[in-house]
Amino acid sequence: MIIIYGSSPLDEKKVDESYEEEYECTKQLGFEVGLINLEDLMVNQRPDLATKRLRNAPEPEDVLYRGWMLKPQEYARLYEALALKDLYLINTPEQYKHCYYLPESYEKIKGHTPRSVWVPMSEVKDSPDAIQTAVSQFGEQPIIVKDYVKSRKHEWKEACFIPSAVDDEHVRQVVHNFITLQGEDLNEGLVFREFVPLEFLSYHDQSGMPLSREMRVFILDGKPVYISNYWDEGQDAAFMEGLGSFMEIARTIESRFFTMDFAKQEGGSWIILELGDGQVAGLPDYADPLRFYEHLKRAFG
């Protein structure tokens, strides 16, 4: 198992400073590490150059990437360039996309996650009523808007939360703000989700968004390998007790390594918030990177 990271934009021989701590942990634990050049991959579209610092494997070998989110097409290019060296990313491009785009895995988590509908950007542009039709299914309920991958949660009132789905003007305004702020980074289309009241923790220091009782679970080959609170410190014993009941769903997810994010409903049970590819999902602020990699190491044997 080789763990690869993006190199620093300033020096190809160094790791991107945002991942320095993780990189040091992997080295400390005796993992083989490698660096790829993300500018060559994403901007110059030269996956061959992006992976030039990695050796050819004598026989097929697993690789795990930890780093910035890649668009499915970029991931596929990376996958192919590495495969030429007999290096195989832990998730195929199909598996990556399965957890990366919410619509891809929605059927698997439906009923355990807020009700969601989506509109591809091509439809948003072609049909002026597409958004209204989509959100009409929520009646007067509050909803949130995001794209197939990300929300603008830190611009909660301006570009994420919509207090009533029937308030056309408000829907239009928040969606407009979301599309404008996402700009070039908008992923594929809009997702509208029923807003579910969550157990409140506090407000975010900088952005003022409401923080709720949320957990991130990394799942490897159908088993939880690392569990962390998302916004706060400590252990959540009640969550740990309930996690088992979600593992049946987790085992249906078409990915070797992914995250499942959970939130506690106000006065209710835990729900799944979203999935992510485990390679590009960040470690929550209070997570312990060394323990994360220790658990991976043990799981890989």
Ligand X SMILES: Nc1ncnc2c1ncn2[C@@H]1O[C@H](COP(=O)(O)OP(=O)(O)O)[C@@H](O)[C@H]1O
Secondary structure of residue 124 in the 3-state scheme: helix
Which of 37, 187, 212, 279: binder of ligand X (CB under 6 A)? 212
Which helix (H) or strand (E) segment holds residue 257: the answer is strand 257-264
Which helix (H) or strand (E) segment holds residue 263: the answer is strand 257-264
CB 196 within 8 A of CB 265: yes
204 near ligand X, rule: CB under 6 A: no
- In sequence order, the 6+-apart residues with CB closer than 8 A to the CB of 221 are 256, 257, 299
Would you list the DSSP string of 59-71? S-EEEEE-SS---
214 near ligand X, rule: CB under 6 A: yes
Which of 77, 97, 108, 146: binder of ligand X (CB under 6 A)? 146
**Which residue number, 47 or 114, has a Cβ lying nearer to ligand X?**
114
By C-alpha distance, which of 172, 166, 164, 124 is closest to 143?
Answer: 164
* Nearest approach, Cβ of residue 232 and ligand X (Å): 12
The tokens describing 85, both together, are 């060296």
Which of 52, 150, 170, 295: binder of ligand X (CB under 6 A)? 150
Which of 196, 260, 283, 296: binder of ligand X (CB under 6 A)? 196
* Nearest approach, Cβ of residue 207 and ligand X (Å): 11
| Whole-number Å distance between alpha carbons of 16 and 20 | 6
- In sequence order, the 6+-apart residues with CB closer than 8 A to the CB of 81 are 47, 48, 50, 51
Stretch that binds ligand X, among 41-49, 60-68, 187-195, 281-289 (CB under 6 A): 187-195
The size of the interface with ligand X (CB under 6 A), counted in residues, is 16
**In the window 262-301, what residues touch ligand X (CB under 6 A)?**
273-274
Which of 114, 189, 224, 278: binder of ligand X (CB under 6 A)? 114
**Which residue number, 120 or 210, has a Cβ lying nearer to ligand X?**
210
217 near ligand X, rule: CB under 6 A: no
**Which residue number, 26 or 116, has a Cβ lying nearer to ligand X?**
116
**Which residue number, 151 or 229, has a Cβ lying nearer to ligand X?**
151
117 near ligand X, rule: CB under 6 A: no
The tokens describing 240, both together, are 């740990």
**In the window 44-103, what residues touch ligand X (CB under 6 A)?**
none
**Which residue number, 261 or 277, has a Cβ lying nearer to ligand X?**
261
Question: 3-class secondary structure for 161-175?
Answer: EECCCCCHHHHHHHH
By C-alpha distance, which of 47, 37, 31, 42 is closest to 10?
Answer: 37
Q: What is the largest CA-CA distance in the chain?
A: 61
153 near ligand X, rule: CB under 6 A: yes
Q: In this structure, how many other beta carbons lie within 10 angstroms of the beta carbon of residue 72?
A: 20
Which of 23, 96, 148, 195: binder of ligand X (CB under 6 A)? 195
The footprint of ligand X (CB under 6 A) covers 114, 144, 146, 150-151, 153, 193-196, 198, 212, 214, 261, 273-274
